[in-house]
């Protein structure tokens, strides 16, 4: 019978030898980094790594050990790259973050701000919560229109919904952030409290059609299902639905929107708390054409594309983990024109001035097909 204690002692001896050789290898990697610092040679050499892994894999005995050797040396090489990225940052080697400018505070007064929807919309409320009253604000019809206003220089900022705690992400915004070279410079959380609005004096029995934005309809799905005879119709925004009821004066129509929208358009609240979720919060981003960030900014958003290969996402995320950075969100969106390939969006805590952040972004930039820092910003919650 095998002596377990003897086997464990033997493993301990082997592990110590592996550790000794690992540290010896890392010292050589530091010499490699020194060479690359002076010559400007890239840290990642995909062909050399793949050729080396193939040789090591083929040298192993048995199918299981071949796969194990491949995984082991992929990890060792990934760790070696991370050490080289650290040394590049420590020695002041610049990366593509040089265009970003740190400021003490964003200019928030005397600026032009655009939002999608109309007065009374949640985007309007988020804008009012984030900015002072000393701004010039106006609305546009679509999210794309808002992006165009900022890209053209007509607006300094756009206020756009990016995520709801009940219904998830606003996919259109993620796609537009990829399409436009704009930057997230701020964030505003707003509690969403939907009510059913109608013409004053109207009863629930008279209602036949309910209008609202698709996300609002989805957030109030249970309430609408309790009235199966009602028809739900999508509109471009919640306040626009309230405006429609006000303009058409049709007692068979109602809107799902905010209480503020109802007051603005002279409508009565026919039902309250129709979302059935007390923590229904929408996150809005503040978008600018300028890559600036506040000194106190503590959240970063990035996007990156990956080759369609096993383990690539793990290696990308390891840059955050290895540098002690806390990820707060990860999403994926299909890449147009590339079947079954995806673009990933990650939010994590940090500031662009921090060495750990620079290390992680250097690794992402080097190893992803395409990487972009979408913004470094702070968060505000509705009071």
> Which of the residues are catalytic?
282, 284
Half-sphere exposure for 12 (CA within 13 Å, toward CB): 6
Residue 60, classed as helix, strand or coil, is coil
Three-state DSSP class for residue 119? coil
Cα angle 38, 41, 42 (rounded to 5 degrees) comes to: 130
Question: What are the phi and psi torsion angles at 131 (to 5°)?
Answer: -100, 160
189: tokens are 């959380």
- For residues 228 and 220, is the Cβ–Cβ distance under 8 A? no
Closest listed residue to residue 360, CA positions, set 311, 320, 300, 305: 320
Return the SS3 of 40.
Answer: coil
Report yes or no: 197 and 254 within 8 Å, Cβ to Cβ: yes
Strand partners of residue 232: 210
In DSSP terms, which residues pair with 327 in a beta bridge?
348
Output the DSSP codes for 177-220. Answer: HHHS--EEEEEEEEE---EEEESTT--GGG--EEEE-HHHHHHT
Please provide residue 2's backbone torsions phi and psi, each rounded to the nearest 5 degrees: -65, 135
**Residue for token digits 């919650």?**
381
């Amino acid at each position: 019978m095998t002596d377990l204690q003897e086997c464990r002692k033997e493993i301990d001896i082997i592990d110590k030898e592996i550790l000794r050789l690992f540290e010896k290898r890392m010292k050589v990697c530091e010499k490699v980094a020194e060479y690359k610092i002076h010559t400007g040679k890239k840290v990642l050499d995909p062909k050399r790594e793949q050729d080396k892994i193939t040789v090591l894999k083929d040298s192993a005995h048995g199918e299981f050990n071949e796969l194990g050797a491949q995984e082991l040396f992929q990890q060792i090489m990934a760790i070696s790259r991370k050490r080289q990225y650290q040394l590049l940052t420590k020695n002041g080697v610049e990366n593509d973050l040089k265009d970003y400018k740190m400021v003490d505070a964003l200019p928030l007064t005397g600026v032009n701000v655009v939002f999608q929807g109309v007065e009374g919309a949640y985007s309007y409320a988020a804008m009012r919560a984030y900015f002072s009253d000393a701004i010039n604000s106006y609305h546009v019809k679509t999210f794309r229109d808002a992006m165009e206003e900022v890209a053209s220089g007509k607006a300094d900022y756009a206020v756009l919904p990016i995520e709801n705690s009940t219904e998830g992400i606003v996919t259109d915004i993620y796609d537009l952030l990829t399409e436009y070279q704009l930057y997230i410079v701020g964030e505003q959380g707003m509690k969403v409290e939907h009510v059913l609005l109608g013409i004053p004096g109207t009863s629930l029995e008279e209602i036949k059609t309910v209008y609202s934005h698709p996300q609002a309809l989805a957030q109030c799905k249970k309430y609408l299902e309790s009235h199966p005879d009602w028809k739900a119709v999508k509109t471009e925004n919640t306040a626009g639905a309230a405006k429609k009821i006000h303009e058409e004066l049709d007692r068979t129509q109602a809107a799902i929107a905010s209480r503020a929208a109802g007051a603005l358009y002279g409508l009565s609240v026919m039902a309250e708390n129709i979302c059935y979720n007390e923590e229904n919060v929408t996150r809005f981003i503040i978008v600018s054409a300028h890559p600036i960030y506040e000194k106190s900014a503590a959240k970063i958003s990035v996007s990156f594309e990956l080759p369609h290969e096993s383990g690539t996402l793990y290696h990308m995320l390891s840059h955050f983990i290895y540098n002690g950075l806390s990820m707060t969100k990860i999403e994926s969106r299909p890449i147009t024109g590339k079947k079954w390939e995806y673009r990933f969006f990650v939010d994590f805590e940090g500031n662009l001035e921090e060495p750990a952040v620079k290390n992680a972004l250097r690794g992402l930039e080097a190893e992803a097909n395409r990487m972009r820092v979408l913004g470094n910003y702070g968060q505000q919650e509705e009071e």
